[in-house]
Amino acid sequence: MVHFYIYSVDRLGKPEIIVDTLSVSMVKVGIVGASGYAGGELLRILSIHPRVEVTVATSREFKGKPVSYVHVNLRRYYPNLKFTDVSIDELTSRCDLVFINTPPSISQKITPKLLESGLKVVDLSPDFRLKNPEDYEKWYGFQHEALDLLQKSVYGLPELHREELRRAELIACPGCNATASILALTPLVESKIVDLEHVVVDVKVGSSEAGRKPNLGSHHPERANVMRPYSVEGHRHVAEIIQELNHLSRDKVDVIFVPHAVGAVRGALASCHTWLTSQDVDNNALRRIYARRYSGEPFIRIVGEGLFKYPDPINVVGSNYADVKAVLYEKKAVISFCAIDNLVKGAAGQAVQCMNIMLGFDEKMGLESPPLRPV
Ligand SMILES: NC(=O)c1ccc[n+]([C@@H]2O[C@H](COP(=O)([O-])OP(=O)(O)OC[C@H]3O[C@@H](n4cnc5c(N)ncnc54)[C@H](OP(=O)(O)O)[C@@H]3O)[C@@H](O)[C@H]2O)c1
């Protein structure tokens, strides 16, 4: 692997590395859990990424089959890529960077070995998102075996952690519900115009959030057309939402978070209810707060007036955009919204955005295709 460094000179005249482009040619990428929905979206996005070559794609169930056997939309894109078993030796010998898309508790066993071999890791599973080790037992029911890495991992939300991502070796991408909720609330939390101890978040999410493996609740006749609250007593994603909002505000933030499964396949919509602490806020002030906070963000769109004047996931399907908006409710509360495609800005697209930042590429590389409409 050939490292390429771009240097600048600091205030004292000392050279410092600002970008390690990792390789002058293509970055070799492995995808662990490539047969699932997040893995399929990574393969789709990376198929046209100009600086990446996918060299390893794992699936135990589909080992030996071409990746297009499962991801039929990718016929012709990877004529020579077949699923293989998960092998640390193969990953370390054939990859510079690995994406991990496995269910909880798998990555914490694989990732330390990949990092020790000098690879970079972008983890889409929850294994390195939470900084407090006890949260893993509480929310995920397993004892974490790589505690030292919890403090080293960077939470993969570029809008909050862009500078840390540039220096990261291990990126822990957020959950899709958490991405939508945090992006809807960030300008309100930072500007401290709402009561941070009473935040109510309601998320509607499509069926692909639950992954490819079917169960009784996700089987089509049971799942189609539902409007079903779930994990009402406490959903895992609330832990990372509170962690990140606490970090932003430096005060105690408390959140009630209730997700609802809806009949769509893709999409997540966060509707966040907050109570104003200041009487001097009107809709123009809210618009300015959001516009200022997200100015220059390549994937945040602030929804204006017109026929479709609130964020709706149907308008971002297939893209890495997050559509946001906040409106006043009778001068006493603010309702803020964020709509994303759970598999793109909520998973694979955000992971590629993070990878681009980590490798010093243009953040938008491979991610500029517009949303589909109608879907
Ligand atoms: N779906 C979403 O909207 C979304 C959004 C953000 C984050 N995520 C997170 O991303 C991860 C993947 O989600 P998904 O929806 O893509 O799940 P999925 O469709 O169920 O895919 C899971 C993948 O992991 C592999 N896998 C399962 N157990 C494994 C093991 N023990 N060792 C190695 N590989 C294993 C599976 O392949 P084999 O069993 O064939 O090996 C499959 O390729 C999860 O942690 C999820 O929480 C998902």
Nearest CA to ligand 1 atom 3: 209
Residues of the chain above pLDDT 90, percent:
90
Atom of ligand 1 at shortest range from CA of 63: 40
* Residue 190 domain flag: yes
Q: How far is the CA of 38 from the centre of ligand 1 (A)?
A: 7
Q: What is the CATH number of the domain that holds 19?
A: 3.40.50.720
Are the C-beta atoms of residues 50 and 366 closer than 8 Å to each other? yes
Number of residues that make up the chain = 375
148 shares its domain with 205: no
Same domain, 319 and 193: yes
Domain count, the chain: 2
Residue 169 counted as domain residue: no
Residue 267 domain-assigned (yes or no): yes
44's tokens: 């789709």
In this prediction, residue 7 has a pLDDT band, given cuts at 50, 70 and 90, of very low
The tokens for 81 are 């890529």
pLDDT at 184 over 70: yes
Backbone angles phi, psi at 296, to 5 degrees: 85, -5
Question: What Å distances lie between residue 279 and 81, 196, 252, 298, 332, CA to CA?
Answer: 59, 16, 22, 32, 8
What CATH number corresponds to the domain at position 209? Answer: 3.30.360.10
Same domain, 206 and 103: no
Give the model's pLDDT for residue 15.
53
Residue 33 Cβ < 6 Å to ligand 1: yes
| 136 and 10 in a common domain | yes
Question: Model confidence over 260-291: pLDDT tens digits?
Answer: 999 999 999 999 999 999 888 999 999 999 99
SS3 label, residue 53: strand
Host domain of residue 105: 5-152
Domain boundary among 137, 152, 167: 152
b/e per residue, 293-320, with b = 16+ CB within 10 A?
A: bbeebebbbbbeeeeeeebebbbbbbbb
Task: For 323-364, write each residue's pLDDT tens digit.
Answer: 999 999 999 999 999 999 999 999 999 999 999 999 999 999
199 & 125 share domain: no
CA angle 239, 274, 302 (to 5 degrees): 90
Helix (H, G, I), strand (E, B) or coil at 21: coil
Distance CA 183, CA 348 (A): 17
Asked if residue 13 has pLDDT above 60, the reply is: no
The catalytic site residues sit at 176
Is 297 in the same domain as 148? no
Residue 6 pLDDT exceeds 60: no
Is residue 34 within 8 A of residue 42, CB to CB? The reply is: yes
User: For residue 11, is it within any domain?
Assistant: yes
Alpha-carbon distance of 199 to 19, in angstroms, equals 39
φ/ψ of 123, rounded to 5, equals -105, 120
Residue 87 CA, chain-centre distance (Å), reads 25
Domain boundary pick from 152, 187, 204:
152
Both 17 and 136 in a single domain?
A: yes
Mean pLDDT of the chain: 94
Q: Both 276 and 137 in a single domain? A: no
Same structural domain for residues 187 and 67?
no
The predicted model scores a pTM of 0.94
- For residue 290, which of 323, 243, 263 has the smallest C-alpha distance? 323
Mean pLDDT, range 159-188, rounded to an integer: 98
Among 19-23, 52-56, 61-65, the minimum mean pLDDT is found in 19-23
Query: Is any ligand 1 atom within 6 A of the Cβ of residue 61?
Result: yes
Our answer on whether the CB atom of 152 is closer than 6 Å to any ligand 1 atom is: no
Indicate whether residue 106 lines ligand 1 (CB < 6 A). Answer: yes
Nearest CA to ligand 1 atom 23: 33
Beta carbon of 59 within 6 Å of any ligand 1 atom = yes
User: Is residue 124 in some structural domain?
Assistant: yes
In a domain, 250, yes or no: yes
Flag whether 164 is in a domain. Answer: no
Q: Does the beta carbon of 182 sit less than 6 angstroms from any atom of ligand 1?
A: no
101 lines ligand 1 (CB under 6 A): yes
Residue nearest to ligand 1 atom 29, measured at CA: 102
- Return the SS3 of 207: helix
Per the CB < 8 A criterion, the answer to whether 29 and 356 are in contact is no
152 CA distance to ligand 1 middle (Å): 23
Do residues 135 and 181 share a domain? Answer: no
Q: Which of 61, 105, 124 to mutate to test the pocket of ligand 1 (most atoms within 8 A of CB)?
A: 124
Q: Which of 101, 107, 176, 203 to mutate to test the pocket of ligand 1 (most atoms within 8 A of CB)?
A: 101
User: Alpha-carbon distance 156 to 228, whole Å?
Assistant: 29
Do 81 and 181 belong to one domain?
no
- Answer yes or no: do 91 and 210 share one domain: no
- 49 within some domain: yes
Q: Label residue 220 exposed, middle or buried (CB < 10 Å: 0-12, 13-18, 19+).
A: exposed
**If you ran DSSP here, which 8-state letter would residue 194 be given?**
B
- pLDDT at residue 2 tops 50: no
Q: Ligand 1 centroid to 192 CA: how many Å? A: 37
